[in-house]
């Protein structure tokens, strides 16, 4: 009998307003981290495509213009200009990827802190595993 009573006591922890705010924050951060991960994967794929393009442009003839995507359109530009733009695009993507990684790390750090607090209070009564 005593074992059953102690199990009920563990699951009947009162959820305060602050606890609910922590749970909501954890949920928001988890969703945000997932979205950022998706965006990061897209940017990585875009970076790989630009790296492949850089390799292709190295083999190109400098006298012939190349088609380069600007926004939604393709324009003919000289090869050296295309290579310069490509380098700039690669640098911009590297910065975006780095920024996304930093944001993901920030979300995960905050989530870990919230897990410690919430598991400390609720124990096995709450599941925060992602």
Q: How confident is the model over 35-55, as pLDDT tens digits?
A: 999 999 999 999 999 999 999
Beta bridge partners of 69: 74
pLDDT of residue 12 exceeding 80: no
Average pLDDT rounded to a whole number, residues 57-84? 88
Contact 21, 117 (CB under 8 A): no
What pLDDT is recorded for position 61? Answer: 82
pLDDT of residue 11 exceeding 70: no
Average pLDDT rounded to a whole number, residues 93-110? 98
What region does 88 belong to: left with phi over 0, alpha with psi -120 to 50, or beta? Answer: alpha
Task: Tell me the two tokens of residue 64.
Answer: 């012939």
pLDDT of residue 30 exceeding 90: yes
* pTM metric for this prediction: 0.81
């Amino acid at each position: 009998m005593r074992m059953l009573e102690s199990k009920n006591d563990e699951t009947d922890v009162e959820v305060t307003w602050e606890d609910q705010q922590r749970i909501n924050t954890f949920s928001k951060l988890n969703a945000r981290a997932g979205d950022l991960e998706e965006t990061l994967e897209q940017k990585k794929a875009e970076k790989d495509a630009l790296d492949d393009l850089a390799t292709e442009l190295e083999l190109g003839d400098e006298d012939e213009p190349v088609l380069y995507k600007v926004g939604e359109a393709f324009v003919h530009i000289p090869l050296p200009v295309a290579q310069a733009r490509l380098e700039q695009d690669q640098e911009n993507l590297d910065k975006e990827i780095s920024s996304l990684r930093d944001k993901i790390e920030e979300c995960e750090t905050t989530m870990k802190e919230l897990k410690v607090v919430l598991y400390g209070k609720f124990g096995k009564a709450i599941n925060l595993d992602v």
